[in-house]
């Protein structure tokens, strides 16, 4: 049985954990306790959401979602800046009905199963803190580094205050009996990690790492703390495609694979940006390249305006029976303001299927 944090306990816990935050007017007395006759608490966990919208503070604190779901819609709001806003101290309308099996797992701090309506339901607003993190939830909108860092600190602050483990941290998608999908989406980076997908498994691992340290701890970041550690980039194609003959063509590598530098993710078809040194290889596989005919491959360097500044040496993949394969070494130093792409030129005179392109490199920034 844990009583919800008082305003003074919120402030102390957040400050100790290094959370930057502001307090919305009236937050210490905002809540649905009186209106519903249901007092918030005892508390059992921290439920994480994304807003699926922009500039949602007004909605979350004041407007709500119509008469059926009045505000406040969360205890805290986390915009892209990473500066948390405390919205309400009392009962908030964020969780809806939680599946009994998920709820029980959060209370027991055991692995959370898929929410099953058949297991029964619990009013999640009775005992879960709720945070709304600003993100469109379209799978493309990126949680900023600042946002994710604060999200980890916020969840850790709650857990540390209540002496909970990361097992008390859950996502709405893990409790909802209505199939809510949040929180999800790409994260710009955290600590030494470049871009990655927000999953509850990862968030809990990051909260656990914080809880293993003193609350004043900060994750190391590449530039200041560990400049010699290379970052790993491993990119591939989402799908094969047909390469027409006659013109150099950028390879559109996907974000599906590891991209620790994050250079590729926001700048496709760029796979690395300067200043950096990288070394690795690109493996290529084509179908339909006539025996003895050639597809050329090279790296090409662009400036900030996207203008081609340098084309690097050409490698050739020669058509062989049963499919054509090639491996290119890629090692280069790239200056500040420059970016690198992979390009192909089909010289066979007919369309060739590019079945796979896999780029693997270690990148040292600076
Ligand atoms: Zn939600």
**pLDDT tens digits along 288-321:** 999 999 999 999 999 988 899 999 999 999 999 9
Q: What is the mean pLDDT of the chain?
A: 93
Q: Identify whether residues 165 and 45 lie together within a single domain.
A: yes
The three-state secondary structure class of 316 is strand
Q: Identify whether residues 239 and 150 lie together within a single domain.
A: no
For 132, how many CA atoms within 13 A lie in the half-sphere containing its CB? 28
Q: Identify whether residues 82 and 191 lie together within a single domain.
A: yes
Q: Identify whether residues 253 and 171 lie together within a single domain.
A: no
Out of 193, 222, 251, a domain closes at 222
String of DSSP letters for 137-172: -SSSSPBPHHHHHHHHHHHHHHHHHHT--GGGEEEH
Over range 314-339, report the average pLDDT: 91
Instruction: Give pLDDT, residue 176.
Output: 97
The range of the structural domain enclosing residue 256 comes to 231-365
The rounded Å distance from CA 74 to ligand 1 centre is 9
* Helices 145-162, 7-16: crossing angle, 10 deg rounding: 120
Q: Identify whether residues 14 and 79 lie together within a single domain.
A: yes
Per-residue pLDDT at 227 exceeds 60 = no
Question: Rounded CA gap, 32 and 87, in Å?
Answer: 12
The rounded Å distance from CA 174 to ligand 1 centre is 10
Q: Identify whether residues 69 and 214 lie together within a single domain.
A: yes
Instruction: Give pLDDT, residue 267.
Output: 77
Instruction: Tell me the residues surrounding ligand 1 (ion) with CB < 5 Å.
Output: 49, 172, 182
The rounded Å distance from CA 126 to ligand 1 centre is 15
The rounded Å distance from CA 47 to ligand 1 centre is 8
**pLDDT tens digits along 81-110:** 999 999 999 999 999 999 999 999 999 999
For 60, how many CA atoms within 13 A lie in the half-sphere containing its CB? 27
Over range 197-217, report the average pLDDT: 96
Instruction: Give pLDDT, residue 1.
Output: 63
When pLDDT is cut at 50, 70 and 90, the band that residue 48 belongs to is very high
Q: Identify whether residues 68 and 184 lie together within a single domain.
A: yes
When pLDDT is cut at 50, 70 and 90, the band that residue 120 belongs to is very high
CA distances from 268 to 48, 161, 272, 363 (A): 30, 43, 9, 17
The rounded Å distance from CA 340 to ligand 1 centre is 39
Q: How many domains does the chain have?
A: 2
Instruction: Give pLDDT, residue 257.
Output: 73
Instruction: Give pLDDT, residue 223.
Output: 58
Q: Identify whether residues 199 and 235 lie together within a single domain.
A: no
The rounded Å distance from CA 212 to ligand 1 centre is 28
The rounded Å distance from CA 183 to ligand 1 centre is 7
Q: Identify whether residues 359 and 250 lie together within a single domain.
A: yes
Instruction: Give pLDDT, residue 158.
Output: 98
Residue 1 within a domain: no
The rounded Å distance from CA 194 to ligand 1 centre is 26
Over range 230-239, report the average pLDDT: 86
Where residue 321 sits, what CATH number does that domain have? Answer: 2.60.120.1120
Q: Identify whether residues 214 and 76 lie together within a single domain.
A: yes
CA distances from 285 to 137, 171, 264, 279, 340 (A): 35, 40, 21, 20, 21
The rounded Å distance from CA 138 to ligand 1 centre is 14
Residue 305 within a domain: yes
Question: Rounded CA gap, 93 and 126, in Å?
Answer: 9
Residue 2 within a domain: no
Residue 146 within a domain: yes
Out of 177, 192, 222, a domain closes at 222
Instruction: Give pLDDT, residue 348.
Output: 94
The rounded Å distance from CA 48 to ligand 1 centre is 7
pTM, two decimals, is 0.64
The rounded Å distance from CA 29 to ligand 1 centre is 23
Instruction: Give pLDDT, residue 255.
Output: 61
The rounded Å distance from CA 51 to ligand 1 centre is 7
Per-residue pLDDT at 222 exceeds 70 = no
Q: Identify whether residues 34 and 163 lie together within a single domain.
A: yes
| Token duo for residue 260 | 């620790």
The rounded Å distance from CA 176 to ligand 1 centre is 8
Residue 23 within a domain: yes
**pLDDT tens digits along 133-162:** 999 999 999 999 999 999 999 999 999 999
When pLDDT is cut at 50, 70 and 90, the band that residue 263 belongs to is confident
The rounded Å distance from CA 125 to ligand 1 centre is 12
Out of 170, 196, 222, a domain closes at 222
Per-residue pLDDT at 264 exceeds 80 = no
**pLDDT tens digits along 164-199:** 999 999 999 999 999 999 999 999 999 989 999 999
The rounded Å distance from CA 77 to ligand 1 centre is 12
The rounded Å distance from CA 321 to ligand 1 centre is 54
Over range 339-364, report the average pLDDT: 92
Over range 28-44, report the average pLDDT: 97
* Helices 145-162, 200-211: crossing angle, 10 deg rounding: 60
Q: Identify whether residues 208 and 237 lie together within a single domain.
A: no
């Amino acid at each position: 049985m844990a009583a919800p944090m008082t305003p003074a306990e919120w402030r102390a816990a957040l400050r100790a954990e290094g959370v930057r935050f502001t307090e919305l007017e009236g937050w210490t007395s905002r809540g649905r306790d009186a209106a519903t006759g249901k007092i918030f608490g005892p508390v059992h966990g921290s439920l994480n959401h994304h807003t699926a919208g922009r500039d949602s503070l007004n909605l979350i604190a004041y407007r709500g979602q119509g008469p059926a779901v009045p505000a406040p819609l969360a205890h805290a709001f986390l915009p892209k800046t990473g500066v948390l806003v405390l919205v309400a101290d009392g009962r908030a309308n964020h969780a809806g009905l939680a599946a009994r099996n998920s709820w029980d797992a959060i209370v027991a701090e055991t692995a959370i199963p898929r929410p099953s309506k058949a297991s029964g339901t619990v009013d999640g607003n009775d005992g879960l803190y709720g945070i709304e993190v600003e993100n469109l939830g379209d799978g493309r909108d990126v949680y900023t580094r600042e946002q994710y860092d604060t999200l980890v600190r916020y969840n850790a602050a709650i857990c540390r205050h209540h002496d909970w483990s990361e097992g008390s941290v859950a996502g709405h998608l893990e409790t909802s009996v209505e199939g809510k999908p949040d929180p999800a989406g790409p994260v710009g980076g955290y600590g030494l990690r470049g871009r990655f997908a927000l999953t509850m498994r990862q968030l809990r691992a990051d909260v656990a790492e914080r809880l293993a340290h003193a609350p004043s701890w900060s994750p190391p970041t590449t530039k200041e703390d560990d400049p010699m550690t290379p970052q790993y980039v491993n990119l591939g194609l989402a799908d094969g495609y047909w390469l027409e003959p006659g013109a150099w063509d950028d390879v559109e590598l996907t974000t599906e694979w590891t991209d620790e530098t994050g250079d590729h993710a926001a700048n496709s078809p760029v796979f690395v940006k300067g200043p950096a040194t990288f070394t690795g290889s690109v493996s290529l596989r084509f179908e339909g390249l006539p025996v003895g005919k050639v597809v050329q491959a090279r790296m090409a360097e662009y400036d900030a305006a996207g203008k081609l500044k340098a084309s690097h040496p050409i490698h050739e993949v020669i058509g062989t029976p049963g499919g054509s394969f090639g491996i290119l070494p890629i090692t280069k130093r790239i200056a500040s303001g420059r970016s690198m792409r992979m390009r192909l030129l089909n010289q066979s005179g007919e369309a060739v299927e590019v079945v796979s392109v896999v780029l693997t490199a270690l990148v040292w920034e600076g």
